[in-house]
Amino acid sequence: MIIDYPISLEKARLLIKEDIDVLISMANFLRQKHKKNIIFTCAIINAKSGACSENCAFCAQSSHNNTNINIYPLLSKDKILAKADEMKRNGATRFSIVTSGYKLKMREVDLIADIIKSINEKIGIKVCASLGMLDENMAKILKDSGLDRYHHNLETARSFFQNICTTHSYDEDIETLYMVKKVGLKLCSGGIIGLGETWTHRLELAFTLRNINVDSIPINFLNPIPGTKLQYMPLISSSDALRSIALFRIINPDKDIGICGGREKILNKLQYKIFFAGANGIMIGNYLTTKGRSIKEDMEMIRNLGLILEDNE
């Protein structure tokens, strides 16, 4: 199939049933064209855990779900700096501060802004943050602190969102994304594959992200957590996971695409294929409430594939 970029929705629909090897070849060509063999590695810290007011069906940190996670307030500055330093030494090129909840209090935003400044000054690693909804003042404070990217997932397509969350609207998430762009921060936004959505929903999300012009797209695969509303959702296949990555790359050819939660369980020994399917980054270390695979294994995979880490400062 001959494709003109940007690809149309009609052409993208045809690719859903394209041979997986052909699709991966197309996506790998685009990754190498726009990203060469340079990749990023992102590490996170769960800086404030649990007791979230939102009822997201997949989330262990929602107060509406019955899970046995640790619940704690914002971690101290020393603990967050120590984690940033540890992850940089272990190969992370980006470090993200993540907090639970719909929206932080202003005093918490001020504290995190101070931490971001210290990470930049003392450790020297690109800093990202995922802190829920933002107003313009909060976004400006984070921008002035030296934050590089703000992360805020849409999670799924607008037309499927009501099946996943009903405590806030899709428009509220969209407003935060545009607020991030308005103050000049780079924007990281993606979602979760395997929530029960269709391929049409996946395309809708990919095109929504393209229309907003996000800078980076994190793709997660649902790893059902006991006690959540989606605890019995079957896992998607490794083939569907790779097809999803490839479609997001073809629809967003020049954006960063990072593979995050669920890759270990869904892809197992096929995790190396995410790069051939179009990804140019991965999350390393543990996730918010689940374990990742060892950083040593991930770094060995990167070296064995001949990939090059981006500058982490």
11 burial (CB, 10 Å; 0-12 / 13-18 / 19+) is middle
| pLDDT in the model for residue 289 | 81
Domains in the chain: ranges and CATH: 9-309 (3.20.20.70)
3 burial (CB, 10 Å; 0-12 / 13-18 / 19+) is middle
What lies within 8 Å, CB to CB, of 153 at 6+ separation is: 130, 173, 189, 190, 191, 192, 218
Integer Cα distance of 250 and 254 in angstroms: 9
| pLDDT in the model for residue 88 | 97
Integer Cα distance of 5 and 26 in angstroms: 12
| pLDDT in the model for residue 62 | 95
| pLDDT in the model for residue 313 | 66
Query: pLDDT tens digits for the chain (313 residues)?
Result: 667 889 999 999 999 999 999 999 999 999 999 999 999 999 999 999 999 999 999 999 999 998 989 999 999 999 999 999 999 999 999 999 999 999 999 999 999 999 999 999 999 999 999 999 999 999 999 999 999 999 999 999 999 999 999 999 999 999 999 999 999 999 999 999 999 999 999 999 999 999 999 999 999 999 999 999 999 999 999 999 999 999 999 999 999 999 999 999 999 999 999 999 999 999 999 888 888 999 999 999 999 999 999 987 6
Contacts by 173-181, CB closer than 8 A, 24 or more apart: 173/133, 174/212, 175/133, 176/133, 176/134, 176/152, 177/152, 177/212, 177/214, 178/212, 179/134, 179/135, 179/136, 179/139, 180/134, 180/139, 180/150, 180/152, 181/212, 181/213
Integer Cα distance of 41 and 44 in angstroms: 10
| pLDDT in the model for residue 1 | 66
Structure tokens at 285: 């270390």
Q: Cβ distance 156 to 201 under 8 Å?
A: yes
273 burial (CB, 10 Å; 0-12 / 13-18 / 19+) is middle
